[in-house]
Amino acid sequence: MTESTRNATLSLDGQSWELPVHSPTAGPDVIDIRTLYGQSGLFTYDPGFTSTASCDSTITFIDGDKGELLHRGYPIDQLASKSHFLEVCYLLLYGELPSPAQLEDFESRVTNHTMLHEQMVNFFRGFRRDAHPMAIMVGVVGAMSAFYHDSTDISDPWQREVASIRLIAKMPTIAAWAYKYHIGQPFVYPRNDLDYASNFLRMCFAVPAEDYEVNPILSRAMDRIFTLHADHEQNASTSTVRLASSSGANPFACIAAGIACLWGPAHGGANQACLEMLREIGTVDKIPEYIARAKDKNDPFRLMGFGHRVYKNFDPRAKVMKQSADEVLDLLGVENNPTLQVAKELEAAALADPYFADKKLFPNVDFYSGIILEAMGFPTSMFTPIFALSRTVGWISQWKEQLADPQMKIGRPRQLYLGETERDYIDIENR
């Protein structure tokens, strides 16, 4: 971080304090309040962190007003159209686009780590068949700390590197096996002659009874979906991973915490909730009723896949996803998909409504992704596991960045206490 050249002055009750201001390479300036409590005895107050920068980072930049998303400076729409997921993984992890030799080496390392320890098969079998695949992923990823002891020492750069590769490589196998277990089909093992997205599709949809040919349209769409979900600055699940890591927890435990946080319907669970909402709406004529419900303060219903803490303009990922939805459904010959029709009409109706326009609520990454995933053959319960699979590289990149930060401290926020002041215990006979 550059040395501060300006100060902000905070004044209260006749006292004032100087706080350094830091300027970024892009985005808002920040007021450095690290010395505030020591100087003034005051806390700041920001539940939900709406005005708080929790760290400095060089990985991803979002401009919510412009609807801009950059990974190491490269715009997401260029990466989605010109790059592919493992190259984006390299970019997020190491900061630069790889040379051909670097990319070949990286892809080879990932490919050769896709298998799971065979003893983990028993771990899967401990779940009920109707367990949500996200419940299985949280459990299995957390359990990796018990299977891969040789990459849990975070003070060893080599072990950090191995854990990173293992997590990126094994997440598709874990997600696919969670799906297979859920539907009662045998596990399909990864193959080293398939690319990352094709491997995942085959592990999800192949059965021993017949050969499985990966449809190149589906693997390209799958790879693009992975890229669009790879990282997103300090969102809730990434912040969870950073907070867990700040205590020195091992990488598998930290990523399991991120998966747990992502599962919520306000975050990564929104893609499943969005498709279920579109199905519930069912037909275009029901849209006004649901728009009215979303606007009704007394109704907890919200348009899932709409709105965003940062984007107050279009989510650039939603734009790419919408184009991809049209392409994939067309190429798959899915004529007039009613869910896509409802989604497009719902988007148009919401964006024409002052409530959504005034609150700057636009479709986010979760609005169209479910339509593509459903057309590809995935049940809604697999939508968030696919989000978790994709976001693992973002969580790991941010985890590595934080561990390399010499200023890293354990995250320990304070509070505005509104409870009882001290009082004496009352014996039960006197209550």
Residue 109 or 309 having the CB closest to ligand SDX: 309
> Considering the rule CB under 6 A, would residue 309 count as an interface residue with ligand SDX?
yes
Active-site annotation holds for 353? no
What whole-number distance in Å separates Cα of residue 322 and Cα of residue 372?
9
Answer left, alpha or beta for residue 244, where phi above 0 means left and psi between -120 and 50 means alpha: alpha
- Minimum gap (Å) between residue 331 Cβ and ligand SDX: 26
Stretch that binds ligand SDX, among 25-33, 97-105, 180-188, 262-270 (CB under 6 A): 262-270
Active-site annotation holds for 308? yes
Each residue 44-63 as x (binds ligand SDX by CB under 6 A) or -, in order, gives ----x---------------
Residue 117 or 359 having the CB closest to ligand SDX: 359
Q: What length does the chain have?
A: 431
Residue 172 or 305 having the CB closest to ligand SDX: 305
What whole-number distance in Å separates Cα of residue 373 and Cα of residue 384?
11
The catalytic position among 223, 231, 315, 366 is 366
Residue 190 or 370 having the CB closest to ligand SDX: 370
Stretch that binds ligand SDX, among 10-18, 85-93, 363-371, 415-423 (CB under 6 A): 363-371
Question: Helices H, strands E: what count in the chain?
Answer: 18, 6
CB atoms closer than 10 angstroms to residue 112: 12
Helix axis angle, 365-375 to 383-403, nearest 10°: 130
| Cα separation of the two ends of the chain | 58
Q: In the range 220-259, which residues lie near ligand SDX by CB under 6 A?
A: 232, 235
What whole-number distance in Å separates Cα of residue 411 and Cα of residue 177?
34
- Minimum gap (Å) between residue 334 Cβ and ligand SDX: 24
# chain residues binding ligand SDX, by CB under 6 A: 22
What is the sign of the dihedral through the CA atoms of 310, 379, 389 and 248? positive
One of 361, 372, 373, 393 touching ligand SDX (CB under 6 A): 361
One of 279, 302, 312, 344 touching ligand SDX (CB under 6 A): 302
What is the sign of the dihedral through the CA atoms of 38, 44, 49 and 50? negative
The catalytic position among 182, 267, 308, 315 is 308
> Considering the rule CB under 6 A, would residue 359 count as an interface residue with ligand SDX?
yes
Gyration radius of the chain's alpha carbons? 23
CB-CB contact of 337 with 329 (8 Å) = yes
> Considering the rule CB under 6 A, would residue 294 count as an interface residue with ligand SDX?
yes
Give me the residue label for tokens 């501060």. Answer: 4
Give the binding site for ligand SDX (CB under 6 A): 48, 232, 235, 266-268, 270, 294, 302-310, 359, 361, 364-366
